[in-house]
Amino acid sequence: MKKRTNILLIVSFVLIILVVVFLILTNQNSKSNNPSTSNNLQTNNQQVNKNINEMVDCGKMENPNCFMIRMNECLPVKGVLTGTDGSNIEISILGIENNTCHFQRRVNNILNLNCFFPKETMNWDTIDQTFGNDHGLQSIVDSSCNSGW
């Protein structure tokens, strides 16, 4: 009788483990097939993958990838940052001009920086350097940018 009870306990335990594994796997599949998640990804990809000559407005850059993906390819894109003093800072990549990447920065709608970076130097560190954050790229910024216009 004791042997039979042990077998029933083992079989019950194995069934419980199988049910738990099944529930975990089912839950993971439903997350990956979640329509709202896939719709958000699709919307972001559509925005980033617009026509290469069309300006993409990334707004206040809640999704940094919107800006970064296009910036890395020197495709037209713009976004707005908020300065520590509350000023609006619009940064824009206008595209490739004369084999350089055209970047502009406007503070409170006034152009204060106009740059033509070599395409291979166009990345976030270069843009961050234009704000005075040292990434060892000041010589590139100095040779590529004009303040104001």
pLDDT in tens, the chain (149 residues): 666 665 655 655 555 665 455 556 665 544 444 444 444 444 444 445 567 889 999 999 899 999 999 999 999 999 999 999 999 999 999 999 999 999 999 999 999 999 999 999 999 999 999 999 999 999 999 999 986 54
Task: Specify the number of domains making up the chain.
Answer: 1
What pLDDT is stored for residue 53 in this prediction? 86
- Look at residue 38 and tell me if it is in a domain: no
What pLDDT is stored for residue 39 in this prediction? 43
- Look at residue 116 and tell me if it is in a domain: yes
- Look at residue 120 and tell me if it is in a domain: yes
Q: Quick one: 24 exposed, middle or buried, by C-beta within 10 A (0-12, 13-18, 19+)? A: exposed
- Look at residue 84 and tell me if it is in a domain: yes
- Look at residue 143 and tell me if it is in a domain: yes
* Rounded distance between C-alpha atoms, residue 147 and residue 79, angstroms: 19
- Look at residue 107 and tell me if it is in a domain: yes
Domain that holds residue 76: 52-147
- Look at residue 44 and tell me if it is in a domain: no
- Look at residue 132 and tell me if it is in a domain: yes
What pLDDT is stored for residue 37 in this prediction? 42
What pLDDT is stored for residue 147 in this prediction? 66
* 116 contacts: CB under 8 Å, gap ≥ 6: 97, 98, 100, 101, 102, 103, 144, 145
What pLDDT is stored for residue 30 in this prediction? 46
